[in-house]
Structure 1
Amino acid sequence: MSWFRALKDTTRSGLKVERKRLEPLIALRGAAGLAIVVSISLTLFGPAVAAGSAFGAYQAAIATFQRSWRPRPELALASGASLGVSTFIGYLTGSHLFLFLPLLALWTFLAGLAWAAGPTIGIIASSNVAMMLVTITLPTTILEAAGHAAMMAFGGVVQAALVILFPVRRWGAQRDALADALAAEADYARRLRHDPVAPFDPQPLMLARSAAALTPRQARTRPAQLHGARGLAERIRPVLASLADPAVGVPEDGPERARVRELLAAAGSILDAAARAIRHGTPVDIPAGAIAAFRTPDTGAILSGPPHRAATRLGSLLRDVVETAGGVEPAHTGPLAPLYATADWAHGLRHRSRPGTGGQSGLQRPSLLRLLPVVVRAVRKEARPGSPVLRHATRVCAVAVSGYLIGNALPLGHGYWAPMSAVMVMRPDFSQTYSRAVARFGGTLVGVVLATAVVQLANPGTELSAALAVLCAGLMYLLMRTGQLAAQACVASYVVFLLGMGGQTWDQTVPERVVLTLVGGLLAMLSYALYPAWETPRLRTKLADWLVALGEYATAVVGHYARPAGPACPDVRAALLRARDAHIAWEEAAARAKTEPVRHRGLSRAAADDAAHALHRLGRVAMLMEAHLPERDATPVPAAAALADALRSATRDGARAVRERRVPDWKPVREALDAWDGEGVPDRVVRRGAGMLLDTLGELSDALDTDEPPMTVKSPEKADGPRPS
């Protein structure tokens, strides 16, 4: 992609306003907390302290809006306290440039590294640095600086208290995540009716897993509807795929296919009903036709073999989902009796889980204090040459220092606007940095014009300026998810009214804010152009990581057929989760690479798409085999052990070849299958799935077989390491 097209696309993205579901009650709660803090500060300490404390309450409310499964009160407290500490330390050194610049460099560098712990912590850390640049200009003495810091922390306390006292949809985020996962499964079932090999996006299941991780305190108060349904959804997906796929299921036409389509439609209706019940906390209302579709006599008369086993297992899993969602009779009577009749109690799916496939044990989430070592480890992991996070930290540090110097050198006053704007818009990837820079400048223009017009026409006093600032903050909370343009317009108006409350007239803030915001945005964009962290050159590494993860997953599945029981049984669930993480990492990297103004010299976009399609198929075949994993007392398949070993070594060697721009070779897998053909295979699903694995690996080699010359690699050790961007 050319620079012109990249800039055009990022500009369009930054100025886009999307239609999103608004959350007025949460926005009202955040604005109410801000109003309480401003009112108390105005009454007790005056406009200057009120302006400083308002930033604390404002930022604490924003922290509770970030996408995080952690308790919202703790985020508000952490945000207010960290902003107060940053402000006090910044004020102590603010009057001495040779002391403040090193502090600013350190603070921004650490804020950049905080992105290694996730976007929530990264946004809070970056916002605290930006707010500090404004708030350190308000106090005049050390005592007043301490008072400002205390009131900022108090703002976090107020917002945390409001979250506790006036919860809006308690457990709503977790309910939505689980309901979205079940709804995604329902949509998948319906798409399989028309496309038996339809793809499935694992993102909803991964979000549901993240939401299911709880602290001990959360686990004690979790609603019953949130117990166990995620694990059932995980196990339904491979069963749906196995039932629909012609390779291991029924033919593409005929009465068997019609019966499968009927079962898939019924499964979609049942999963949708369970999703609605979990989302709203209401009883499950299942259409009668969906229940009738799972009557065992009809299914048994039409389907046989693996398809019949898949249909039976699907009915059992759906029954457990309905039970978990609530509103179902415990006995095998009532309107859901036909659904209960499909349950194969020999499987015991509800009361136990197959070793290695993951049970219903709770996921532990550390408390906020215990999270600190985790954050430190994540930061240390990214503190390496070539890391995108380290490059981001370096960029934001250099831009903040240079922006502060440029802003002070310009005869505009309020020079902190330039570094503040840069820190607020900079992100570790290209597209977000550029789109946010454009949106911030456009939103600043709109907000400043509107706020200036109000100030000129109404000439508001202290109280009215405070009320207008709270109103703008409330609008920002309401519209922040609709796009950066609307949010930044509200932020610009908020700051103008807030500083006006503190006694600064519009002509002291508006002109330099517009110019210095432009300077800060240009510095942010220029820094990424001069010191980029392009994702495109790392695509082969991401593809190789995905191949290794899928190889481990396929190895674990095949290994189950060789060792159905015993301590040596591989962990399928853990391997699947690693494969999903690698899949999402590839998808995110490929999406970012499409917006970058560079091209990969060793991997064209067409080759990348074809390779990704082949790996999608590899994961799907492994999933189909997982749907028919043998029971613990099943007869072992000795030939599967040799195939599992061949898969593990071949995919690791193949990943090395991908990194070195060579075409992978799957000779060990082919030899293991040839040896297998001389032995008896107890189930056609096993051998057919093994052959499909080899076919998909061959498709990957075909996708990567280009005329590009191979890269020279000095040693295998260096080839396995991260490639420089």
Structure 2
Amino acid sequence: MTWSSALKKTARDGLTIERTRLEPLLALRGAAGVAIVVGLLLAFGTPKLAVSSAFGAFAAGVATFQRTWRPRVTLAVVVAVGLGASTFLGYLAAPHHAVFVALLAVWTLLAGMAWAVGPVSGLVATQTIAVMLVTVTLPTSVVGAAHHAALIVFGGLVQALLVVLVPIRRWGRQRDALADALAAEADYARRLRHDPTARFDPQPLMDARDAAELTRRQARYRPGQLAGPRGVAERLRPVLASLADPVLGAPAEGPERDRVRDLLGAAATVLDAVARAIRRGEPVRLPPEAMAVLEVPESGPLLSGPARRSALRLIALLGDVVEASDEPVRTTGPATEQERRDLLRPSVPRLVPVALRAVRREARWSSPIARHAVRVSAVSCAGYLLAAGLPLGHGYWAPMTSVMVMRPDFARTYERGVARFAGTLVGVGVGGVVTAFLHPGVYVSAALAVLCIGLLYLLMRTGYSVTSACIGAYVVFLLGIAGEGWSQTVQARLALTLLGGLLAMAAYAVFPAWETPRLRDRLAGWLRANGEYALAVLAVYARPAERKARRVREALLDSRAARREWEDASARARKEPVRHRGLSRSAERAAEAALATMGRVTMLMEAHLPDRQAAASPGAEEFASALRAALPDAIAAIRERARPDWSGPRRALAEWQRREGDTGVAVRGAELLTDALDELSEGLAAPRRGRAGRGAGRG
């Protein structure tokens, strides 16, 4: 993709307004928090104190809308403390220009590294930079610094208190995540009726697992309806796929296939009913027609072999998921460590060492997070110094825009840069027109500012341009409380927002962290994860008596995570204005399809794992040994633009087939697995033939 195409695409994406589900009650509660803080300070303080404290309530409210599974009250408190600390330090350093610039450089560097912990941590850290930049315009002294920092914290604590006193749909996000996972399974079952190899996006299952990770306190109060269905949903997916598969399940046509289609349709109906009940917190209501299909028939088309085993397991699992969710919505008792040892989420204090380890892993020059931290630190300081020399006032707007716009990847940085300026142009323009014609007083300006915040919270997920428009109007009315002239506000805001956005975008062009050159590394990581998953499954076939379900489960989770990392990286790379000379777009698609097939075949083999009492399979052990020996060289070959060699696993498979035949599930699965690996080699080698595809690199 050329630079002009990349800029057009990012601009278009940045200005896109998405349709999303609105949450008016949550928006009303967040706006009420800002209104309470501003009203109290106007009544018992001064307009400038009201403006200062509003930042804390506003930022804490924004944090409570982030996509995270931590309690909203925890987010609000953490943001309040972080804003208070940055405000206090900013006040102390503001009288000394050089000291403040040094503090700003260090603080933004640390805030940039916070993205290593996660996107919510990065956003919270970014908010603290914005507040620190605002403080340089206010009076400074140690006492005044403590006073204003306390007001910022007070604003955040008011939002936290409202979350406690006015709870809105408790456990709503967790309910939605679990219901979405079950609904995704239902949709998958319906698509399998017509396409036995339909693709399944594991993201809803990954989200449901993240939602199920609880702190010890949360585990004591989680509704019982959320405690069981997720694990059953995880086991359902391979059973659905194995039942529909024409190789390891029922024949492609005939009475057995008709029976499979009926079972899949009934399973989809049951899963949708359970998802609806969990989302609404009510008992499950099942249609009798679906239940009749799920009964084992006495006559008519009967399944046999692996398809029959899959059908019986499907019926049992559907019964489990209904039983687990069809119960009164009650709180659970305290969970033991053994019951939740892999789903415990660390509390905020215990998150500190986890965060430090994450930052340490990214503290290297090649890391996109580290480069982002250096980039945002340099841009914030340059923007602050440059804006300070302009006769516009409010110089902090330029570096604040840069900080709020910049993200670790190219696409989001440029999308947000365009959206920020366009939204600010609209928001400041509307706010300026209203102020010019109505000349609102202090209390009317405060009411208009709260109205803008309410709209921001309501429309936050529709697009960054909409958010920026609300923020632009909010700033105009907020500064109107302090008596700022609207004309100066509009002109300065637009000019400095443009300056900050251009600095952010130029910084990424000068000091990038492209995703495209790392695509082969992502493919190699996905192959490694898929290989470990296949080896874990084959180990059960080789030695059923030593079956370790946890090892298979962990390998599956790693495979899902690797696939998600590849898909995210590939999506980011498609928007970058650079080429990958060693991986064409066609080779990328072929490799992705082959690795997806490899994961699917392994999942089908997992659906038919033998019992502990089953006989060991020497052929499976030899095939697994050959695959284990070939994986390291294949991974290195992908990174080095060479062709992976799978001759060892192919020879082991031929010997396995000669010894045991090719009718068993394990042998047939291993054959499909080897075919997928050969397709991977063919797909990666195709662009190099005759060097014809060299110029077709992707961007």
Q: TM-score range by the shorter chain?
A: over 0.9
Whether 1:48 and 2:48 are equivalent positions in the alignment is yes
Equivalent residue number for residue 531 of structure 2: 551
What secondary structure is seen at the aligned counterpart in 2 of 1:613?
helix
Whether contact under 8 Å (1:3, 1:597) holds in the other structure is yes
Equivalent residue number for residue 153 of structure 2: 153
Whether contact under 8 Å (2:283, 2:326) holds in the other structure is yes
Measured after TM superposition, the shift of residue 108 of structure 1 is 0.6
Q: 1:152 to 1:275 in 2, by over 3 A?
A: same
Equivalent residue number for residue 696 of structure 2: none
Equivalent residue number for residue 658 of structure 1: 638
Q: Which amino acid aligns with 2:266?
A: A
Q: Which amino acid aligns with 1:393?
A: A
Measured after TM superposition, the shift of residue 300 of structure 1 is 8.5
Deviates more, 1:292-301 or 1:387-396: 292-301
Q: 1:568 to 1:69 in 2, by over 3 A?
A: closer
What secondary structure is seen at the aligned counterpart in 1 of 2:170?
coil
Q: Which amino acid aligns with 1:184?
A: A
Q: How does 1:78-227 map to 2 (within 5 A)?
A: 78-227=78-227
Partner of residue 506 from structure 2, selected from 501, 523, 526: 526
Partner of residue 623 from structure 1, selected from 603, 608, 621: 603
Equivalent residue number for residue 514 of structure 1: 494
What secondary structure is seen at the aligned counterpart in 2 of 1:242?
helix
Equivalent residue number for residue 694 of structure 2: none
Q: Which amino acid aligns with 2:495?
A: V
Equivalent residue number for residue 448 of structure 2: 468
Equivalent residue number for residue 389 of structure 1: 369
Partner of residue 589 from structure 2, selected from 609, 625, 632: 609
Equivalent residue number for residue 237 of structure 1: 237
Q: 1:93 to 1:327 in 2, by over 3 A?
A: closer
What secondary structure is seen at the aligned counterpart in 2 of 1:663?
coil
Whether 1:459 and 2:451 are equivalent positions in the alignment is no
Whether 1:705 and 2:679 are equivalent positions in the alignment is no
What secondary structure is seen at the aligned counterpart in 1 of 2:22?
coil
Measured after TM superposition, the shift of residue 101 of structure 1 is 0.7
Q: 1:698 to 1:362 in 2, by over 3 A?
A: closer
Measured after TM superposition, the shift of residue 632 of structure 1 is 1.4
Whether contact under 8 Å (2:456, 2:467) holds in the other structure is yes
Measured after TM superposition, the shift of residue 485 of structure 1 is 1.2
Rounded to whole Å, the distance in 2 between the matches of 1:459 and 1:532 is 46
Equivalent residue number for residue 672 of structure 1: 652
Q: Which amino acid aligns with 1:619?
A: G
Equivalent residue number for residue 421 of structure 1: 401
Measured after TM superposition, the shift of residue 488 of structure 1 is 0.5
Measured after TM superposition, the shift of residue 140 of structure 1 is 4.1
**TM-score if structure 1 supplies the norm length?**
0.92
Rounded to whole Å, the distance in 1 between the matches of 2:103 and 2:91 is 11
Rounded to whole Å, the distance in 1 between the matches of 2:339 and 2:297 is 31
What secondary structure is seen at the aligned counterpart in 2 of 1:601?
strand
Whether contact under 8 Å (2:225, 2:327) holds in the other structure is no
Rounded to whole Å, the distance in 2 between the matches of 1:29 and 1:432 is 29
Whether contact under 8 Å (1:384, 1:390) holds in the other structure is yes
Rounded to whole Å, the distance in 2 between the matches of 1:360 and 1:183 is 25
How many residue pairs were aligned?
683
Q: Which amino acid aligns with 1:486?
A: V
Runs of 4+ deviating beyond 4 Å: 298-301, 358-362, 567-570
Q: 1:625 to 1:362 in 2, by over 3 A?
A: same
**TM-score if structure 2 supplies the norm length?**
0.95
Deviates more, 1:99-108 or 1:460-469: 460-469
Measured after TM superposition, the shift of residue 449 of structure 1 is 0.8
Partner of residue 409 from structure 1, selected from 389, 394, 411: 389
Rounded to whole Å, the distance in 2 between the matches of 1:240 and 1:126 is 44
What secondary structure is seen at the aligned counterpart in 2 of 1:283?
coil
Measured after TM superposition, the shift of residue 709 of structure 1 is 9.5
Measured after TM superposition, the shift of residue 507 of structure 1 is 2.6
Q: 1:49 to 1:365 in 2, by over 3 A?
A: same
Q: 1:35 to 1:710 in 2, by over 3 A?
A: farther
Measured after TM superposition, the shift of residue 710 of structure 1 is 13
Q: Which amino acid aligns with 1:137?
A: T
Measured after TM superposition, the shift of residue 567 of structure 1 is 7.1
Q: Which amino acid aligns with 2:133?
A: L
Q: Which amino acid aligns with 1:547?
A: L
Whether contact under 8 Å (1:229, 1:321) holds in the other structure is yes
Whether contact under 8 Å (2:183, 2:271) holds in the other structure is yes
Deviates more, 1:295-304 or 1:490-499: 295-304
Whether contact under 8 Å (1:283, 1:327) holds in the other structure is yes
Partner of residue 664 from structure 2, selected from 681, 684, 691: 684
Equivalent residue number for residue 624 of structure 2: 644
Q: 1:89 to 1:570 in 2, by over 3 A?
A: closer
Q: Which amino acid aligns with 2:268?
A: G
What secondary structure is seen at the aligned counterpart in 2 of 1:635?
coil
Equivalent residue number for residue 77 of structure 1: 77
Indicate the percent of aligned positions where both proteins have the same amino acid: 59
Structure 2 portions without partners, runs of 5+: 329-337, 692-698
Measured after TM superposition, the shift of residue 327 of structure 1 is 5.2
Q: How does 1:334-483 map to 2 (within 5 A)?
A: 363-483=343-463
Q: Which amino acid aligns with 1:533?
A: A
Whether contact under 8 Å (1:259, 1:299) holds in the other structure is no
Measured after TM superposition, the shift of residue 644 of structure 1 is 1.4
Measured after TM superposition, the shift of residue 464 of structure 1 is 1.3
Measured after TM superposition, the shift of residue 637 of structure 1 is 1.0
Whether 1:323 and 2:323 are equivalent positions in the alignment is yes
Whether contact under 8 Å (2:95, 2:140) holds in the other structure is no
Equivalent residue number for residue 290 of structure 1: 290
Q: Which amino acid aligns with 1:556?
A: A
Cα-to-partner distance string for 1:418-465 (whole Å, 9 max, x where unaligned): 100000010011111001010110011101111111111111111111
Cα-to-partner distance string for 1:617-656 (whole Å, 9 max, x where unaligned): 0000000000000111111112211111222222222111
Q: Which amino acid aligns with 2:187?
A: D
What secondary structure is seen at the aligned counterpart in 1 of 2:493?
helix
Rounded to whole Å, the distance in 2 between the matches of 1:624 and 1:569 is 15
Rounded to whole Å, the distance in 2 between the matches of 1:200 and 1:517 is 43
Q: Which amino acid aligns with 1:281?
A: G
Measured after TM superposition, the shift of residue 299 of structure 1 is 8.0
Rounded to whole Å, the distance in 2 between the matches of 1:228 and 1:391 is 42
Measured after TM superposition, the shift of residue 681 of structure 1 is 5.7
Deviates more, 1:208-217 or 1:406-415: 406-415
Whether contact under 8 Å (1:266, 1:293) holds in the other structure is yes
Rounded to whole Å, the distance in 2 between the matches of 1:323 and 1:536 is 47
What secondary structure is seen at the aligned counterpart in 1 of 2:658?
coil
Whether contact under 8 Å (1:27, 1:478) holds in the other structure is yes
Equivalent residue number for residue 575 of structure 1: 555
Whether contact under 8 Å (2:224, 2:327) holds in the other structure is no
Q: 1:569 to 1:89 in 2, by over 3 A?
A: closer
Equivalent residue number for residue 588 of structure 1: 568
Q: 1:152 to 1:569 in 2, by over 3 A?
A: closer
Rounded to whole Å, the distance in 2 between the matches of 1:35 and 1:394 is 37
Equivalent residue number for residue 305 of structure 2: 305
Whether contact under 8 Å (1:48, 1:139) holds in the other structure is no
What secondary structure is seen at the aligned counterpart in 2 of 1:602?
strand
Rounded to whole Å, the distance in 2 between the matches of 1:682 and 1:166 is 63
Rounded to whole Å, the distance in 2 between the matches of 1:77 and 1:521 is 30
Equivalent residue number for residue 10 of structure 1: 10
Whether contact under 8 Å (1:618, 1:696) holds in the other structure is yes
Structure 1 portions without partners, runs of 5+: 329-357, 712-724
Whether contact under 8 Å (2:179, 2:276) holds in the other structure is yes
Q: Which amino acid aligns with 2:211?
A: A
Equivalent residue number for residue 60 of structure 2: 60
What secondary structure is seen at the aligned counterpart in 2 of 1:412?
coil
Whether contact under 8 Å (1:637, 1:681) holds in the other structure is no
Rounded to whole Å, the distance in 1 between the matches of 2:65 and 2:114 is 18
Whether contact under 8 Å (1:562, 1:641) holds in the other structure is yes
